[in-house]
Structure 1
Amino acid sequence: MDSADLDKLNDKDKAELRQFITNEQQRTRLQAQTHTLTDTCWKKCVTGPIKSGSLDKTEQVCMASCVERFMDLNLLTTQLLTNKMRK
């Protein structure tokens, strides 16, 4: 779809397209963050082969803690940036 095609859309369709694009961008960012989180925590917590088809107790605890720290840091970073933008 080029700009000539966009000009043919009515306001309602343009708004729907903008919302769709915004949603897809958010989904893409979430997927990228999930991949980063998985990669980071996996490398940190799973140090050997998985023997029983699932993580052992130590690995499970490590993964849960890693995810919690990642989410806490992400929230803190967002809050700090938001506060900085308000000043």
Structure 2
Amino acid sequence: MADLFSNTSTFDDSRKPKSGEAELQEFLMVEKQKAQFNAQIHEFNDFCWDKCMDKPGSKLDSRTETCLNNCVDRFIDVSLLITNRFAQLLQKSAGGM
């Protein structure tokens, strides 16, 4: 019985969960990415809605739906193009150091 109350630990330290700070940093990074994604969605929703909606109705007509789809597709294409271009520039500048 004395062994149950001793101060020595029988748990393996290698199985400890991540430190609280590391978990918090990972959680914050994921939440930041979610917030950026949501902000991007709201941005192209606003832009494409203003561009494609003439008059609100009870349902979308095919012209408006096509316009919205094309607008969102182009918005995503341009965002990816810009992101990839910046990544290339960063790679070049990091390689030149």
- Are 2:13 and 1:13 equivalent residues in the alignment? no
CA RMSD in angstroms comes to 1.4
Question: Separation in 2 of the partners of 1:79 and 1:23?
Answer: 21
1:73 match: secondary structure:
helix
Question: Separation in 2 of the partners of 1:58 and 1:39?
Answer: 18
- Are 2:72 and 1:82 equivalent residues in the alignment? no
Q: For each residue in 1:45-80, what CA deviation from the matched residue of structure 2 results, as whole angstroms up to 9, or x when unmatched?
A: 001121xx2211000000000000001001100110
Gaps of 5+ in 1: 1-9
Q: 2:52 aligned to 45, 58, 66, which one?
A: 45
Counting aligned pairs with the same residue, the percent is 36
Query: Which residue pairs with 2:36 in the alignment?
Result: 29
- The structure carrying a bigger helix percent of its residues is 1
**TM-score, normalisation: structure 2:** 0.74
| Bigger CA radius of gyration | 2
Count of residues paired in the alignment: 76
Question: Separation in 2 of the partners of 1:70 and 1:79?
Answer: 14
Q: 2:60 aligned to 36, 41, 55, which one?
A: 55
Runs of 4+ in 1 over 4 A off after TM superposition: none
Question: Separation in 2 of the partners of 1:12 and 1:66?
Answer: 44
**TM-score, normalisation: structure 1:** 0.82
State the AA in 2 paired with 1:71: I
Gaps of 5+ in 2: 1-16, 93-97
Question: Separation in 2 of the partners of 1:84 and 1:72?
Answer: 18
